A and B are shown apart, each in its own frame.
Chain A
Amino acid sequence: MSDNAESPTETQKDEPSTPQQPTEDSGTADDKKKIDVLLKAVGDTPIMKTKKWSVEKGRTVQSLSQFISRFLKMEANEQLFIYVNQSFSPSPDQEVGVLFECFGSDGKLVLHYCKSQAWG
């Protein structure tokens, strides 16, 4: 599946005909190819207005990270980190579907995200 990081879609105005983008959850997650992801901010990281997204299983962590970074309009000197299980940062090449299998609960995958300058 393509994992293009498209520009974020607005809540409630999402075009459901663009399957490559994370789409806001419309209430059902019966699409076998997508999983529900709940994004939670940590630290001083801005909170996303839309927290729940329906994401294709084959999408990578990097793709999701890019999406969140653009959504938050992050600066070039900032790095976004995503944590699963609030303790582990999955590889950028990891597919979210695999993360869901390992760490999903109540039908969704909770991911925490944090921005920082990280190195220096």
Chain B
Amino acid sequence: MSSCFLDEETFCQCCQLFLQHSHSLCDGWSWEQVKGSEEGYLRKTALGTGRTRCNQDQQGTSSDQHQERTFSLSFHNDDDDEDDGAVCCIQEENSSSSVVQYEYHILYSCSYQTPVLYFRASTLEGRSLCLEEVWDSVHPNYRQRLQHRPWDTITQQEHPLLGQSFFVLHPCRTEEFMKPVLKAALEEHRQVNYIVTWLSVVGPVVGLDVPLSYCTQVPEPPHTPSSSPQPPSSSPQPPSSSPQPPSSSPQPPSSSPQPPSSSPQPPSSSPQPPSSSPQPPALGTKPG
């Protein structure tokens, strides 16, 4: 199974389709082209919430380790831990929930052949959050997994195109959560927009929710000049109201041979929206 990865051209196409819907929703995404290059990335700024240190000097940075900070420490027995048999959970007791300014970038990684989410986070006063604060700001749904191995999850790296320090959500295991989706789509002759699916998984970890309408309104990447964009929708609507677009988009060429007809998987139940109504826009799969 090699259909879990994304080539750069398809990345760009998926991004453009993603952008069309973003514009219709005024969702705030933009495409930033790197000057003098064909490379680009998706960008969005948004206000969210996070846990930041309170009563701290505004000049505090990640090097500001000398300030008094109180942490609560708890250890859990973790039989599966390869390192030391204990998981350390750190929660800063002097932190409080506050408004955080986020700036998200979606870049393409040639080495991983996946998108990668970079982001910056700062208080409204302009102070960048430190790494521990970012960890502490992760959505509770993902907190336990993050605290198990925070250094494997979110760290600071140099932005590949801008050269500035950004936080990054590690992409090494992107395949693990993309594979089931792509595999199912392939077997059922459906297609997905890789960026929509991928962002819906990784975005909420760091405060970036993807509206439901992206799921039904963003088509697959075309390999013809353009696909007809879907009617704009500002709120999630039952797929029955979506018109059936031309669904005969050919499978994009890839190095992996496509089975002429996938092993039929008679659906035991309808994974699709109401079967009596037209299916949502055919979304493009990306075979590897």
Q: Does A2 contact B (CB under 8 A)?
A: no
> A106 within 8 Å of B by Cβ?
yes
Given the complex of chains A and B, what is the CA–CA distance between A101 and B219 in angstroms?
21
Interface centre among B181, B216, B280 (most CB of A within 10 A): B181
Q: Which positions 43-98 of chain A face chain B at CB distance < 8 Å?
A: 43, 61-62, 65-66, 75-79, 81, 83-94, 98
Contact residues in A for B170 (Cβ distance below 8 Å): 119-120
Provide the bound-state CA to CA distance between A96 and B197, in Å.
18
Q: Are A119 and B173 in contact (CB under 8 A)?
A: yes
Q: Which of A13-21, A24-32, A109-117 contacts B (4 or more CB under 8 A)?
A: A109-117
Find chain A residues with CB under 8 A from B172 CB: 119-120
- The answer to whether B121 has its CB under 8 Å from any CB of chain A is no
For the A-B complex, the count of residue pairs with Cβ-Cβ distances under 8 Å equals: 144
Are A110 and B80 interface neighbours, CB within 8 A?
no
CB distance from A52 to the nearest CB of B (A): 10
Contact between chains at A98 and B275 (CB < 8 Å): no
A55 to chain B, nearest CB (A): 16
A89 and B200 within 8 A (CB): yes
Given the complex of chains A and B, what is the CA–CA distance between A43 and B184 in angstroms? 10
How many Å lie between the Cα of A106 and that of B268 in the bound state?
A: 13
By the criterion CB–CB under 8 Å, are A79 and B142 in contact? yes
A87-B212 contact in complex given A110-B271, A120-B170, C-beta closer than 8 Å: no
Are the C-beta atoms of B215 and A43 separated by less than 8 Å? no
Check A116–B181 contact: CB distance below 8 A. no
Stretch at the interface among B22-30, B31-39, B52-60, B234-242: B234-242
A75 in contact with B80 given A86-B181, A87-B185 (CB within 8 Å):
yes
User: Smallest distance from the beta carbon of A47 to chain B beta carbons, Å?
Assistant: 12
B92-100, B102-110, B143-151, B156-164: which lies at the interface: B143-151
Residues of A within 8 A of B200 (CB): 88-91
Q: Is A105 an interface residue (CB 8 A)?
A: yes
Residues of A within 8 A of B (CB): 38, 40, 42-43, 61-62, 65-66, 75-79, 81, 83-94, 98-99, 101-106, 108, 110, 112, 114, 116-120
Shortest Cβ distance from B137 into chain A, in angstroms? 14
Residue of B nearest to A44 (CB): B180
**Are A102 and B269 in touch, CB under 8 angstroms?**
no
Interface residue from B181, B190, B212, B215 paired with A98 (Cβ < 8 Å): B212
Chain A residue numbers with a CB within 8 Å of B154 are: 119
Contact B273 A85 (CB under 8 A): yes
Judge whether A42 and B237 touch: CB under 8 Å.
no
Interface residues of B in 189-205 (CB under 8 A from A): 190, 192, 196-197, 200-201, 204
Q: List 24 A-B contacts (CB under 8 A).
A: A43-B180, A61-B141, A65-B141, A85-B216, A85-B273, A86-B181, A86-B271, A87-B283, A88-B197, A89-B197, A101-B238, A102-B215, A102-B216, A104-B273, A104-B274, A105-B272, A108-B269, A112-B184, A116-B173, A116-B177, A117-B176, A119-B171, A120-B170, A120-B172
Known: A43-B179, A66-B141. 17 other contacts (CB 8 A): A75-B80, A76-B80, A76-B87, A76-B148, A77-B148, A78-B145, A85-B272, A89-B200, A91-B209, A92-B139, A102-B212, A102-B273, A105-B274, A106-B269, A110-B270, A116-B176, A120-B172
